[in-house]
Amino acid sequence: MFPTQVSVPRSGFSSWDEFQAELFVCCEVLVCGVARWWSRGQVRSSAMPPVRPRPARSNRTFRTAAHIVRPALRAVTRTQWSGAQHLPTDRGFIVAANHVTNFDPLTLAHFLWDNGFAPRIMAKHSLFGVPVLGHVLRGIEAIPVHRGTAAGVRSLDAAAAALARGECVFVCPEGTLTGDEDMWPMLAKTGTARLALDTGAPLVPVAQWGAHRVLAPRGKVLKVVPRKVVQVLAGPPLDIDDLRGTPGAAQGVTTRLMAQITDQLAQIRGEQAPHDVWDPRTKTRVAR
């Protein structure tokens, strides 16, 4: 554990924070250099993106994690991102994405960070008890989700408060990895829809594909060679005004949201989406 104050008499730094910031920059330069060497011979379209100003709402833990994780992700993935123009810059908003592998929250956070947003990630509460990971999640102010309990209301309250402050909240409406054998989105829970209906925050559907090539669904072994193409497509905020105040509004918004995410996923996969969807409760396929 680092001390809060140190004396660096011959370093020229006036404070530990200044020294730490410079150290992070040096580490990123070093890791980026390795990433560039690793990616020699790749197509020009996969070149490293220009450095952008760090998101204004990021805290120190998030910035530290970004300095470490972003160069590593660049070393093992080739990003194909589109739709960033649909991310609101004047208010808080919800990003809702499909969930294929435990690796895709990293790649989607990478997409958001490089487009100027430090997302408040909604993650199942059990992850906060995992050594190291739990510390990082608390440090980046992720929001624990308690499923099926009264504490679940507190999760939505915390997300609503973040949206009111103008922050980006990232959630996977399915609540867990998809159970579809072909990795299409499955039936989702209604919490994301209720959050959008209650707060009026824009609900941005995002499809992502390719992270499963680095870490298979429910896999434990990373496959880092060769670099994998990771695609993210953000769509325009979902129009749900016609559903507000109607019976079953949350279910209606959820159905519309997942249909849009599925259509975007079909676009980046270059495939026809199935006409039915996996229902994790009955373990059967039902009409979309």
- Per the listing, tokens 């402050």 go with 165
15 inside domain: no
Residue 154 CA to chain centroid, in angstroms?
21
Number of domains the chain is built from: 1
- CA end-to-end span of the chain: 51
135 inside domain: yes
Q: Which residues pair with 123 in a beta bridge?
A: 144
Q: Cα dist. 129→67, 134, 153, 287 in Å? A: 24, 5, 20, 37
Task: At 118, list the tokens.
Answer: 């430090």
225 inside domain: yes
Identify the segments of the chain with pLDDT beneath 50: 1-13, 15-49, 51
- Per the listing, tokens 């870490």 go with 215
240 inside domain: yes
Amino acid of residue 82 = S
pTM above 0.85, yes or no: no
Predicted local confidence at residue 109, as pLDDT: 97
Taking residue 66's Cβ as centre, other Cβ atoms within 10 Å add up to 22
Query: By C-alpha distance, which of 288, 262, 62 is closest to 182?
Result: 262
CA atoms of 271 and 251, how far apart (whole Å)? 26
237 inside domain: yes
28 inside domain: no
The SS3 assignment for 97 reads strand
Asked whether 209 and 265 are in contact (CB, 8 A), the reply is yes
Owning domain of residue 127: 49-69+76-270
Predicted local confidence at residue 14, as pLDDT: 52
Q: Where are the alpha helices (DSSP H) in the chain?
A: 16-38, 60-76, 104-114, 133-139, 152-164, 191-199, 249-269
205 inside domain: yes
Amino acid of residue 204 = V
18 inside domain: no
Task: At 252, list the tokens.
Answer: 């209606």
Task: At 48, list the tokens.
Answer: 């490293």
Q: CATH number for the domain including 185? A: 3.40.1130.10
7 phi and psi, to 5 degrees? -110, 125
